[in-house]
């Protein structure tokens, strides 16, 4: 488990050409006028071909209680998306660096914009990763981040999101519409 943050978490703002152009406090950036910023999404998979699917904490500002991919986050200034992924693995799922066997960026230029029912906008350039974990990797969700989780076979997740997109986050549907991501999840079996 990680220690709680004492300083504000900063997100990297992006200009129209997707180049970094500043930083903002994460606590203030997500509004009805959210600026474009850098993020990442990650699908944690195990050696049996299962994907960890998480339900966002009910206390989250955006999309509370929604089922989605394993974890998401924002790289800080000077932090690579891979470094942020490992940090968020600890902050959301209680995972350690050594739990990750491999980390692969599958959709490096994925971008989305989604508005929650409360009017808060997510607008992110969001590289999408698949991270395989060791067989003995332990998940201990952090309640402020994750309400619940389950492991599902990749094919079932893909079929479930296609059949009932309203039950999942908008970004998981958009991400799983890409052949590259579906193939990366399924080939791990």
Question: Does 30 appear as a known binding residue?
Answer: yes
Residue 124 designated active-site:
yes
Cβ partners under 8 Å of residue 12, min gap 6: 20, 22, 23, 37, 38, 74, 75, 76, 77
Q: Give me the catalytic one of 91, 124, 126, 145.
A: 124
138 marked as part of a ligand binding site: no
Is 124 marked as a binding-site residue? Answer: yes
Q: Which residue has the tokens 């076979």?
A: 153
Confirm or deny that 79 is annotated as ligand binding: no
From the list 42, 72, 91, 126, the catalytic residue is 72
Tell me if 37 is assigned to a ligand binding site: yes
Annotated catalytic, 42?
no
Residues belonging to the binding site are 30, 37, 74, 92, 122, 124
Residues belonging to the binding site for Mn(2+) are 30, 37, 74, 122, 124
Question: Which are the catalytic amino acids?
Answer: 72, 124
């Amino acid at each position: 488990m990680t220690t709680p943050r004492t300083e504000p978490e900063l997100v990297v703002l992006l200009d129209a050409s997707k180049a970094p152009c500043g930083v903002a406090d994460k606590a203030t950036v997500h509004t009805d006028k959210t600026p474009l910023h850098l993020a990442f999404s990650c699908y944690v998979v195990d050696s049996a071909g299962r994907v960890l699917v998480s339900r966002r904490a009910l206390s989250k500002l955006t999309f509370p209680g929604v089922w989605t991919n394993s974890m998401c986050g924002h790289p800080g200034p000077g932090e690579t998306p891979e470094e942020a992924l490992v940090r968020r693995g600890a902050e959301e799922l209680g995972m350690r660096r050594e739990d990750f066997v491999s980390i692969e960026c599958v959709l490096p230029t994925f971008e989305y914009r989604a508005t929650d029912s409360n009017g808060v906008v997510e607008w992110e350039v969001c590289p999408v990763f698949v991270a395989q974990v060791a067989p003995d990797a332990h998940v201990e969700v952090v309640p402020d981040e994750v309400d619940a989780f389950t492991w599902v076979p990749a094919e079932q997740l893909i079929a479930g999101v296609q059949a009932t997109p309203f039950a999942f986050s908008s970004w998981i549907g958009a991400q799983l519409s890409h052949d590259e991501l579906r193939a990366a999840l399924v080939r791990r079996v």
